Every structure is written in C-alpha cells, then in structure tokens.
Structure 1
Amino acid sequence: MLLHEVNPSIKAFAIVISILILSVFFDPITPLIIILLTVTATFLLATVSFKKWLLLFAPFLFIALMYVWSTMLFPRLQEGDNVIWEWGFLTMTAEGFRRGVSLGLRVLSFATLSIMFTLTTKPTDFLLSLMQQCKLPPKLAYGIMAGYRFLPLIKEEFQTLQNAHRVRGVAKARTISEKVKQLKRYVIPLLAGAIRKAERTALAMESKGFTGEKNRIFYREITVTKIDWLFFVLMISAVLLSAFISWKLGYLQFYNGEL
C-alpha cells in the first residue's frame, strides 16, 4: 500500500481524526510514537524527497523548540514541584520540563501528519475527491484549482516585472516609503493581469459547457477501495496503540487546557 494511492479524502479524514484524538492527550510518549511511525511510513510507503521534507519540517521544529524552551524556563510554579535548576528569575522544574517536552512533541506530531498528507497528495486529486466523495460544489472546487494553477504564472510575471525595472534603471528601494511605492508598481500590474486571466478562464469554462452542476460526469473518477479504509483503520489504531503504550508506561495524561 503506497500513500500516493490512498484516496485523498479518506487520507485527510484519517489524519484529521488522528490529530483530534492526539489533542486529547498531553504526554511525551504518545506523540513521540506517532512521530516515529509517521516519519517511517512517509519514507517507506511513499516517494518523498528528504530535502523537501526537511524544508517543511524545519519551521515546525523551530516552533516546537521555542515552546519547550519557554515552558521549561518560565513554568507556572505550584506547591510540590521538583526544582531541577534555578538561576535568577529562571527556574526549571521536573514538571515544567515534562510539560515542555510534551508540548513540543505534540506540535511535531501534528506537523509530521500534515507533512505526510501534503507530500503524498496531489492537489488536483484532492479536489476531485472532495467533489466526488464529499460533494464539494464544482464551482468552488474548480475555482480553487484555477487559482492554484495561476500561482506559478503570477510568480513568473513578478520576476518579469523585476527584470523590466532593472533594465529601465529603476533604483532598488531602500527606505520604507520607497518600498511602498515599489510595491504599488508591482501589485497593480499583477492584479490587472490576474483579473484578465480570471475573465478568460471563466469565458473558456462557459464555452465548454461548464455550469457548476453537482450531477456531472468526471473524466477521472476517484474511487474508494478497501485499501483506503485499511489505511484509515491503521491510522486510528496507531494513535490508540500509542496512547495504550503510554498508559502502560505510566505517562498517559489527558489535556485539561492548562500548561
């Protein structure tokens, strides 16, 4: 079973349910097991570039480290807390350390699940699946797909504008007022070009008979198979098994809204 072949809607549903279940628990073992399982599945059951995965994972790792650092060094002290280290106004307790690690791993578990979905799902297949399985209105879905297709074109036009300004000798903006003026010079042509593309796309879709009706025939049909439901069951089972292992080790705790 390759992750690329799993139905996108079932995959998204499984990941959302997994994240909701994980949000109920607040301990270091449950998210740690999920992180290890998710990373292993991402690289064993999918063709994913490690460099691209690391590029997406790095910001979440930084955020997690900031959470851990602030929670450990600025804990909410309570009676009976075991102080590990203290220096001036900085205090580290065993309870604060555990909360910080739990919070950091919690963030990383959500991140690894989201990255797995992002790198193993084509946006077009996801929208087609939402239309066919989840009855998403075609007008909304095709509008999103058209906007997604425009992003590379807008990037190319932006680079063309920059090159044109350099050729004409426009000085590089240095002050805030100059940057605001430069932004206007870029935004207005890009906005005008985007409106023209949107009008042409709308006219082309109408000329091809697109009416936005839900009862339509699709050239590519996204089906739901037993493999998709197997993936769903395995995802939920992995989260529950992680919580069970954490409970057996004596670490399992439920999140009560306090850090």
Structure 2
Amino acid sequence: MTDAGPVLASQAPHAAFDPYAARVAASPVRFLYGLNPLAKLAAPIPAMVLLVFVRDAATPLAFLLLAYAILLVGVTFTKRLAAILLLAVPLGAVVIGFGFALWTDAARVDQSVVVWQIGGWTLYGGALAVGFATGLRLAAILALTLIAGLSTTGPDLVRASVQQLRVPYRIGYTALAAFRFVPRFGHELDVIRQAHRVRGAHGGRGPIAAVVRWFGYVVPLMAGAIRHAERVALAMDARAFGAHPDRTERYLVPFRARDAVFVVLFWATSAALFWLFFPWGLG
C-alpha cells in the first residue's frame, strides 16, 4: 500500500479477495453479506437504544421475531448458529427472566396472583412478568446486534469506518493489524502445545497440572507476540505508514443504494412496531 493520496473509486485498485479475512461464500439470497457494515450497524441501533426504556414484553418480542426473520433470510445457517439462535438465546432469556423475577421487590407486585410460595417467601405473577419482560428485552437487543455481528468481518468494518466515516487511517489500520493478532495467537498457542506434548513437559492430570501447563505457555506466547509486533511495526514503517494524511485504498467497501434502502426500511419497521405497541403507556 503506497501513499498516493485519495483516489476515486473507479480508479482505485480493487481486490475481489480480502487477504485479512475469509469472505463468506453465500447465495444472493443471503443479502446481509453484501451490505455495508455501517448500514448493518446503523439500522438496528435506534431500536436497541429505545428497547432499553421499554418495560412490556410484547415490544421486545416483536423485535426479537424481526431480528430472527432477518437472520433466517440474510445469513447462512450452520449447526452452531442454529444452536445459538434456537437454544442459547431463548434459554438465556428464560434464565435471566426467572432471575430478575426473584430479585423483583415483592411489595411492588403483591397485588398480583401468587405463583409459588415457600414459607414466608412468595413469588408473584407480577414479578414473573417483570422478569421475563427484562429477559425478552435483553434477548431482543442481543438478536439485533447479531444482524451485523454474524455477517460482518472486522476488517470490513474498519475499512468502512475509514472510507465512509473518515476515521483516521492511522487508527483504522492499527485496528486492522490488531485483528490479525488473535488468529495468530491461536496458531502460536497450538504450536506451543504441540511442542510441549512432544517434549513431555508438564504432563499429568488435574487442576494443578493444568495451571502449570498454562504457566508454561505464557512465556513463549509473550515472546512470539513481541516478535510479531516488531515485524508488523517494521512492515508498517517500511510502507511509510503515517507519513501522509491519506492512503490509497486497495480494498473498497462502498456504501450503495441498497444499504440506504435497508437502513430506511429497518427504521420504518422499527417505528411502526413502536407505534403499534407504544410501550411507554402515554396514549
């Protein structure tokens, strides 16, 4: 990458393959992969903010179903994703809802129906309603974040921020380099583990042996991290990183008309749902 100043999108070299992150191969029906990351963030954010202030169960349930509908169409489903959406999220909502029901002040709901009573402790139906409304609210916010989280790579988000939000490239590409540290650490940790197994170091079973093994991984992992950081710093310095205010973009993440359409449609649907349920009780 060279410091040639800003270039037009039609003139800039465009790489069809992202060298920093594996692109998801999906049919055109899985439309979320083709949208700009900023559009997938901007669309659900207003609804997520407003969901913090609602207290009913119907509104977050409607947004939860909306997010699920978008994800069912927009992303490629795997067994892990199905387990998250169909098992982990509902189960988490139930657990959180029951937990908040136990913490709800009984004096505020003691006029509701009694669901469970043990000695002097009583669980009221109003407490369950408050708890499960909270659980649904958190589940809806989580599901809305998955719209961008399951269909966006970190490098694409950084590039879109640099190109559309005018985030300084010194910050953006530093974050881009940081994204590559995580998989590299995973690879180096795997190599260190294999080397320890070959040498028979820190053998044995039990928690003490596991702690000893992990302490044995720390020093070589830190040494590898320092070496990698030095190489990255030298490579960025060799490419005159930070010497000029702008850099030529090798990989473009444009904001197209379909991105604006997605944002407007999502905002309109969110407004319709809030108007339909009007969870603030002012009407």
Deviations 1:114-173 (A, max 9, x none): 112111112211110011111222222222222222322221221221122122222135
The aligned residue for residue 130 of structure 2 is: 99
The aligned residue for residue 257 of structure 1 is: none
1:60 deviation in Å?
4.3
The aligned residue for residue 53 of structure 1 is: 81
Answer yes or no: is 1:137 the counterpart of 2:164: no
Q: What percent of counterpart residues are identical?
A: 26
Tell me the distance in 1 between the aligned counterparts of 2:89 and 2:167: 30
Answer yes or no: is 1:4 the counterpart of 2:42: no
1:71-86 alignment runs, 5 A limit: 71-78=100-107, 81-86=111-116
The one-letter code matched in structure 1 to 2:75 is T
Alignment gaps of 5+ in structure 1: 255-259
1:77 deviation in Å?
1.9
* Mean CA deviation greater in 112-121 or 165-174: 165-174
Q: In the alignment, is the contact (CA less than 8 A) between 2:40 and 2:147 conserved in 1?
A: no
Q: In the alignment, is the contact (CA less than 8 A) between 1:138 and 1:213 conserved in 2?
A: no
1:175 deviation in Å?
4.4
The 3-state SS of whatever aligns with 2:116 is strand
Deviations 1:55-108 (A, max 9, x none): 444554444222211233443123662123232154232321211121111011
The aligned residue for residue 276 of structure 2 is: 245
The aligned residue for residue 174 of structure 1 is: 206
Tell me the distance in 1 between the aligned counterparts of 2:114 and 2:245: 62
Tell me the distance in 1 between the aligned counterparts of 2:214 and 2:250: 42
The aligned residue for residue 51 of structure 2 is: 22
Distance 1:132 1:244, change over 3 A: same
The one-letter code matched in structure 1 to 2:236 is M
Q: In the alignment, is the contact (CA less than 8 A) between 1:135 and 1:214 conserved in 2?
A: no
**Aligned residues between the structures:** 248
Deviations 1:12-40 (A, max 9, x none): 12222221122121211111111111111
Q: In the alignment, is the contact (CA less than 8 A) between 1:38 and 1:116 conserved in 2?
A: yes
The one-letter code matched in structure 2 to 1:54 is A
**What's the RMSD between the two structures over aligned residues?**
2.3
The one-letter code matched in structure 1 to 2:57 is P
Alignment gaps of 5+ in structure 2: 1-28
1:202 deviation in Å?
1.6
Higher helix share: 1
The one-letter code matched in structure 1 to 2:58 is I
TM-score, with structure 1 as normaliser:
0.85
Tell me the distance in 2 between the aligned counterparts of 1:21 and 1:84: 31
Distance 1:227 1:60, change over 3 A: same
